[in-house]
Structure 1
């Protein structure tokens, strides 16, 4: 059932209108929003593998669930790219039926424990909560999603979604990030023989290499992946589609449909003097080496530089992950350098808050123009142009404008550049016939995620150029529904 159909069904139930008007609902709006339990900032800033957010207790979750008004027109669902039946799972929590809540989540989401941690609910479902119209804090949907998924995992009673009878049709998924995993889960539910091909040695894509343990523990991702395995999804690692195996090879092996979810793994740089100095690297390299290659260990075969004066260039979630990682690796001065003001930062408010609590310095309205090296070719300083905000640009944010002659020189011994990424070009080059945009993204029909090749669909960063986990998952679900319709001749 689609989100629109679910909402229509809820509207048709007359008792919900009575509930909405009840006196009890007034009491629900007066319950204060729950606060997340967290590790102490001083402690956590020195430990890399412990998760900052500790989750809610049963009592906290049930109290927060009471705040949900169970609206007959649940606008929160309109803000969810994967169409979770939000009121239903929350009301299960309110009744103490936590395992039932988890089952509701898994009807539409392949990764509820992941989304409960990293999805920007404040810009999605929570941004449409009716509480906001009453000048109240929205229901903590993300916290409750995490609670239900964690409760199920910790109970040991992990359910597997209902699987249709196997139809014998083979489909291939290229990339095991959130878009690929979401697609794989939906196709497995429909009875398809699903194989996920991953270029790296670990399954999870950006969930593993891009997000640190203190924000998303690997064990959480592994449990979600194991759930997909129980649904019949097969995974092949260290296999680069387009190199190790070709599009034609996969056809010969009997695959009838393909979902390209190879991400955007090429880091962008600013092309300013000094970017080739030792100690200047991309956030992609930095986080991948720390998260997947044990590079934080000095005894590692490829240890990463652990600077004492570290500047991270950028203001997104990846920049926050990088600077907070640097702090945990011993940086005495960890700085975010961002050319706009804090209000324009794309990073989640929670991530900015955590970074500040952990001692990160924010140098907003500054933009690097040059990195200066020592006689060994190592970065030792950065020159920063002071900025001010001008008129809004195409993104709606005020454009940063240089203040003539206002230059600061700051000592640094490591710079991590986090100013965006570009799509991985391998699939567009290897699959002859794909239409590719000037930005290197695969062009698809936005309603079906179908490419110019009739049997190839695509989603996530390879289409968007840069997306949140939940938007990528939404692409995967949309592509699965469209591919199923095509393969079944509907």
Structure 2
């Protein structure tokens, strides 16, 4: 633990453990075969070279009707990868409109160029499986946009009675990541926000604990490598100044 590091003689610790735990929808049927996180899907297909199976050792199931849930850059990567792995139909399913999608405009444009279907104002409520335990359908609700929420985007509101079922055989969930709670749970006095991210003083990246600093996705939630590197530089200067006072 971090406290054990201090007991071993360290005077400062920087936490940069990221936010690599995928978020899920927590709706019925989410454990069916054929439903996986974008983290696993992209790691298998790219880093572990599943696209070259059986030449590579890592297999991957790539269905014919792929639905990717989410509207960020990772969702765009996932849906385009699914199409390239042989899907006959690949779609983005997003609960807001395209104007609210957090993905870069270029990513959306490239997905459209490849023939990806965008199904907007749609939110899954349950997954439907076949007798073998594989996903075969996804029940969804139509949504409409209400007042803005804390993100500044208009809040999606369900339209009662608008349920419909999409035929799918692969679902990739790309609705964000959260931090691994282990560090926070084992470090008393380390303050976090309601999403479990560590809170810091932006000018120094110091946490609520003396001598403990943090930066990157563990602080901001899923963001960019550039932002994480910038946080590390700020923290390095602050740690150097702190150690000189000891």
The TM-score, its normalising length taken from structure 1, stands at: 0.47
Look up the match of 1:442: 198
Query: CA separation of 1:433/1:391 partners in 2, compared to 1, >3 Å: closer, same or farther?
Result: closer
Aligned with residue 266 of structure 1, among 8, 21, 36: 21
* CA displacement at 1:427 relative to structure 2: 2.2
What SS does the aligned partner of 1:306 have?
coil
Look up the match of 1:324: 80
For the residues of structure 2 that align with 1:456 and 1:412, how far apart are their CA atoms?
47
1:272-283 aligned at under 5 Å gives the runs: 272-283=27-38
Bigger-Rg structure (1/2)? 1
* CA deviation profile, 1:436-471 (whole Å, cap 9, x unmatched): 333222222222111233222101111122223332
The TM-score, its normalising length taken from structure 2, stands at: 0.91
Look up the match of 1:362: 118
* 2:179 is equivalent to residue 427 of structure 1: no
* CA displacement at 1:392 relative to structure 2: 1.7
Look up the match of 1:409: 165
* Structure having the larger proportion of residues in strand: 2
For the residues of structure 1 that align with 2:165 and 2:157, how far apart are their CA atoms?
19
Look up the match of 2:43: 288
* CA displacement at 1:412 relative to structure 2: 0.7
Query: CA separation of 1:342/1:289 partners in 2, compared to 1, >3 Å: closer, same or farther?
Result: same
What SS does the aligned partner of 1:296 have?
helix
What SS does the aligned partner of 1:406 have?
coil
More relative contact order in 1 or in 2 (CA 8 Å, sep 6+)?
A: 2
* CA displacement at 1:296 relative to structure 2: 2.9
Look up the match of 1:345: 101
* CA deviation profile, 1:353-408 (whole Å, cap 9, x unmatched): 11111111100111111111111000011112111112222222111122222222
For the residues of structure 2 that align with 1:270 and 1:362, how far apart are their CA atoms?
19
* CA displacement at 1:256 relative to structure 2: 4.0
For structure 1, the 5+ residue unaligned runs are 1-241
RMSD of aligned Cα (Å): 2.1
For structure 2, the 5+ residue unaligned runs are none
Count of residue correspondences: 245
* CA deviation profile, 1:93-121 (whole Å, cap 9, x unmatched): xxxxxxxxxxxxxxxxxxxxxxxxxxxxx
For the residues of structure 2 that align with 1:340 and 1:438, how far apart are their CA atoms?
23
* CA displacement at 1:284 relative to structure 2: 1.4
Query: CA separation of 1:434/1:393 partners in 2, compared to 1, >3 Å: closer, same or farther?
Result: closer
Look up the match of 1:237: none
For the residues of structure 2 that align with 1:372 and 1:296, how far apart are their CA atoms?
27
